[in-house]
């Protein structure tokens, strides 16, 4: 196939790069060295394997907003994503999609009640919640707990007549729609952080050469993939570089500043609250 370069890494550019690296003809017919459809399947396989290396990739983190409905425990749709689709795909057609469902959410971090000063709801086991809010005890009020069951989000107790604005912090599901568009001008970019692009390419190259029965080249590229994946997993599990390793001392803060609005925070040193009446250096 004949490709011309374009900006960004979409499926078109991926196929072009794979064709140049392998020196094989990737096309729509069996007359080519390998079909485009098969290479797309290899890309999908590699993408899913990379995504499964960790459950909390940073670029998948999103937040959603939705409004409560009186006397309703469960919520499935009507969520609007309020963060960018991905750092690498700010112009994706799905970036501002509304009325998303929980199918778009892979893992929930927190549920925040913004109507009540941003109070974070407490996660509770779904069956435990059903045991508590049952029969005459199932009275509407201000939601304080949440649970997940059968691809639905449940609020406990069920909201009263007040319309509460909820923010859902979560990790969205990986998006494979970029594989469906092989046009040169496609704005659906690969749903991966740029540091992982070569990982995807190495895996796909290994599968291409494996299909060509070139076991030596297949092993070389798969080795590159495995080494890259090991380094990335090591970095993901490494301690933060901006904080020295703390053993038994716990968090220590020097100075005498008043640490505003952080209950349970211990500040070393001397000082006072704004009213100059309560000394610093205590739990409050």
pLDDT tens, residue by residue, 52-74:
988 788 888 888 888 899 999 98
Burial state string for 239-261 with b = 16 or more CB within 10 A and e = fewer than 16? eeeeeeeeeeeeeeeeeeeeeee
The whole-number pLDDT of residue 8 equals 58
- What is the band of 97 on the pLDDT scale with cuts at 50, 70, 90? very low
- What is the band of 171 on the pLDDT scale with cuts at 50, 70, 90? confident
| Domain spans, the chain | 11-55+193-237, 60-172, 249-284
**Percent above pLDDT 90 for the chain:** 43
The whole-number pLDDT of residue 99 equals 45
267, pLDDT greater than 60:
no
Comparing CA positions, the residue from 161, 163, 170, 168 lying closest to residue 67 is: 163
Burial state string for 144-174 with b = 16 or more CB within 10 A and e = fewer than 16? ebbbbeeeebbbbbbbeeeebebbbbbbbee
Comparing CA positions, the residue from 149, 56, 68 lying closest to residue 107 is: 56
> Does residue 25 contact residue 19 with C-beta atoms inside 8 Å?
yes
The whole-number pLDDT of residue 248 equals 61
100 or 10: which carries more pLDDT confidence? Answer: 10
pLDDT tens, residue by residue, 3-51:
333 345 899 999 999 999 999 989 887 777 899 999 999 999 999 999 9
What is the CA angle 179-180-182, rounded to 5? 80
- What is the band of 193 on the pLDDT scale with cuts at 50, 70, 90? confident
89, pLDDT greater than 80:
no
* 3-class state of residue 31 by DSSP: coil
275, pLDDT greater than 60:
no
The whole-number pLDDT of residue 96 equals 35
The single residue listed with the structure tokens 């970036």 is 95
- What is the band of 234 on the pLDDT scale with cuts at 50, 70, 90? confident
* 3-class state of residue 192 by DSSP: coil
143, pLDDT greater than 90:
yes
């Amino acid at each position: 196939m004949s490709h011309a370069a374009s900006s960004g890494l979409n499926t078109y550019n991926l196929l072009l790069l794979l064709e140049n690296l392998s020196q094989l003809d990737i096309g729509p017919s069996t007359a080519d060295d390998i079909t485009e459809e098969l290479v797309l399947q290899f890309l999908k396989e590699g993408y899913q394997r990379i995504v499964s290396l960790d459950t909390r990739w940073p670029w998948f983190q999103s937040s959603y907003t939705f409004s409560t409905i009186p006397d309703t425990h469960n919520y499935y749709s009507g969520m609007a994503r309020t963060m960018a689709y991905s750092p690498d795909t700010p112009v994706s057609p799905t970036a501002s999609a509304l009325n998303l469902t929980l199918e778009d959410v892979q893992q929930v971090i927190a549920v925040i009640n913004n109507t009540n000063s941003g109070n974070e709801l407490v996660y509770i086991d779904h069956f435990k919640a059903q045991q508590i809010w049952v029969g005459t005890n199932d009275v509407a009020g201000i939601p304080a707990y949440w649970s997940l069951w059968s691809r639905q989000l449940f609020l406990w107790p069920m909201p009263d007549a007040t319309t509460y604005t909820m923010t859902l912090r979560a990790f969205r599901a990986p998006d494979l729609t970029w594989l469906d568009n092989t046009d040169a001008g496609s704005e659906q970019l690969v749903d991966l952080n740029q540091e992982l692009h070569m990982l995807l390419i190495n895996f796909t190259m290994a599968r291409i050469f494996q299909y060509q029965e070139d076991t030596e080249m297949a092993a070389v590229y798969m080795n590159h993939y495995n080494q890259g994946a090991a380094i990335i997993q090591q970095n993901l599990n490494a301690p933060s570089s901006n904080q020295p390793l703390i053993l038994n001392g716990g968090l220590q803060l020097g100075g005498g500043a008043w640490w505003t609005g952080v209950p349970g925070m211990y500040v070393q040193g001397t000082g006072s609250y704004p009213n100059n009446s309560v000394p610093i250096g205590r739990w409050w």
